[in-house]
A = this chain, B = another copy of it.
């Protein structure tokens, strides 16, 4: 069940066509026969079968080919595809260079680390990726997560971030190999939405300091707001002007990309020259980040050449060229501070779990959106493997964790990309920039980079979702607001965990609080409607003990378990406790009608004095004959599970 989809269907994304592959997920007939049994046996069987399939699937030759999707599209690669990929790759490169420099600021790292993070992922994804549109690299959320979990105590030091990148890659690779992409399904839309909005606000407000030219602002959101407001009088007016001009320019240029030319569909199409002009205007819109940053740098360079060195806060010196290709340091000494591996690991802590998962969520969300738009399929497990390898190899060139970028994937798709090969050209462009352009990066005003960030994250805030949820499903507002407020109030890292927890508890609430029905009568029969699993155990105990005490008497009780299809250990413990309770109260408890396979589990548990009957009637008879002579009539207390699950 887990393993066969990627194996049978991968590799069809090159042409974007589908067909003839669909019946693979339908189980063969011998599986259908065992289905009824399986629904009773529950999870154990499902897992066993999945594990078996998984092992078989891993060993097939077809599977090994699927794990390297380049083998599917490379043999069919054409000159025309090369041309499309070249244009798309270079266009994405123009976008990623200013973005990378800016995102490194969010991650609290020197700007060149944004570029280090940008190129290796593109190369790796070309070999392992299944979606033609996706481009890997630094993103706003990954940068924020890097700052949250992996800020080194030493300034301008990337060791923590690089270690986080390595472990993120390993965790993602492991999840991919174990086919655990399913984990993403347990994060609901409101939680992701609230997290993204909160991240955008945190990132956006964090760059207000850049626009105002302020320094020494803390990173936690509440303090950040407080300190930024307190320091407003220290605003540097030139930085502010530059920032606002950049924002205005970005707004105008981005509008160029979405111009609707209102062509007459029935008339003759526009001629070549008009089409080229339109393409040029679209390109200017797409490369708006680059244009704004270059213009702002020009202004800064002119100011500096005229001796006005301190008017604008600029980026300053960048290390030119590629970083050394080497594994991450796990312990090192710098500025007289010695940091050991165990310090790094305990400081990053939960980041090793949260960052890989968020990277996956972001990648899958983007991949699914573009797969839908361009009619192909993505395979979560293969994507996990691709992103895992990308992170592992990227960390050798000093990268912090990367994932799929929504804005650049959109540019890639609109530029007419045909295969993941476009990543090669993006990567090469970045490497060239690192070798040749770093002296020019010196002049980039910090406020221009802040403007780029603010403009890009502002689109991530989704206010309309509140209205939609209010109209359609108000209960989903609870995880939305709790996630949003805890992300801003107590930190992004706890916010996402709290949100996932709350949405799971809402999902599981009905299973913890089944409803109770009472029919008038005398013999107490408590009826369970579905599986008895850990969240429901305590409530069942309460119900049964209430039945015991009903009418001010000490009643014996029959528990109707004919619908109990599964039983976990917590439930077995609960049953044992109930039997002890009844013994100490000198009453009797009979478990009636357990299905055979469930009863088997109960019998091997060696519960002392477990009384079982095959039907409720038999159970009642047992009680009336042997134990309690004072019964009069029959009373049913029905424990019914809410049918939401």
Contact = CB atoms under 8 A, between A and B. Distances in A.
A531 B506 CA distance: 14
Contacts of A43: 475, 506, 509-510, 644
A22 B569 contact: no
Contacts of A40: 643
Contacts of A637: 26
Interface string A1-23: 10001000000000000111111
Contacts of A642: 39, 42, 46
B605 A190 contact: no
The SS class assigned to the A binding surface is: helix
A455 interface: no
A605 B472 contact: yes
A474 to B, nearest CB: 6
Nearest to A603: B472
Contacts of A190: 569-570
Interface in A295-340: none
A174 interface: no
B19 A552 contact: yes
Given A530-B643, A542-B25, A569-B469, A549 B508 contact: no
A537 B491 contact: no
Nearest to A341: B223
Nearest to A478: B47
A113 to B, nearest CB: 24
A642 B46 CA distance: 10
A350 B486 CA distance: 12
A573 B551 CA distance: 50
Contacts of A472: 569, 572, 601-602, 604-605
A349 interface: yes
A569 B512 contact: no
Contact-residue bracket for chain A: 35 or more
A355 to B, nearest CB: 14
A416 interface: no
A608 B509 CA distance: 32
A567 interface: yes
A531 B642 CA distance: 10
A504 interface: yes
A515 interface: yes
Interface string A511-539: 11101111000000000001101111111
- A47, A475, A585, most chain B CB atoms within 10 A: A475
Contact of A19 (B32, B503, B537, B549): B549
Contact of A517 (B35, B471, B549, B641): B35
A264 to B, nearest CB: 25
B504 A508 contact: yes
Nearest to A513: B1
A604 B473 CA distance: 10
Contacts of A580: 372
Nearest to A369: B577
A534 B185 contact: yes
Given A472-B572, A546-B22, A644-B42, A534 B507 contact: yes
- A43, A539, A546, A604, most chain B CB atoms within 10 A: A43
Nearest to A500: B501
Contacts of A567: 473
A353 B498 CA distance: 9
A584 interface: yes
Contact of A568 (B184, B188, B373, B572): B188
A428 to B, nearest CB: 34
B515 A39 contact: yes
Given A507-B534, A537-B185, A568 B20 contact: no
Nearest to A577: B372
A5 to B, nearest CB: 8
B549 A533 contact: no
B19 A186 contact: no
26 contacts: A1-B513, A19-B549, A22-B546, A22-B551, A25-B542, A40-B643, A42-B510, A43-B475, A46-B510, A184-B538, A185-B512, A185-B536, A188-B568, A218-B342, A350-B494, A350-B497, A372-B580, A375-B585, A472-B601, A497-B497, A503-B534, A507-B535, A508-B508, A530-B644, A533-B645, A565-B643
Given A189-B534, A508-B508, 4 more contacts: A25-B543, A39-B640, A349-B491, A530-B645
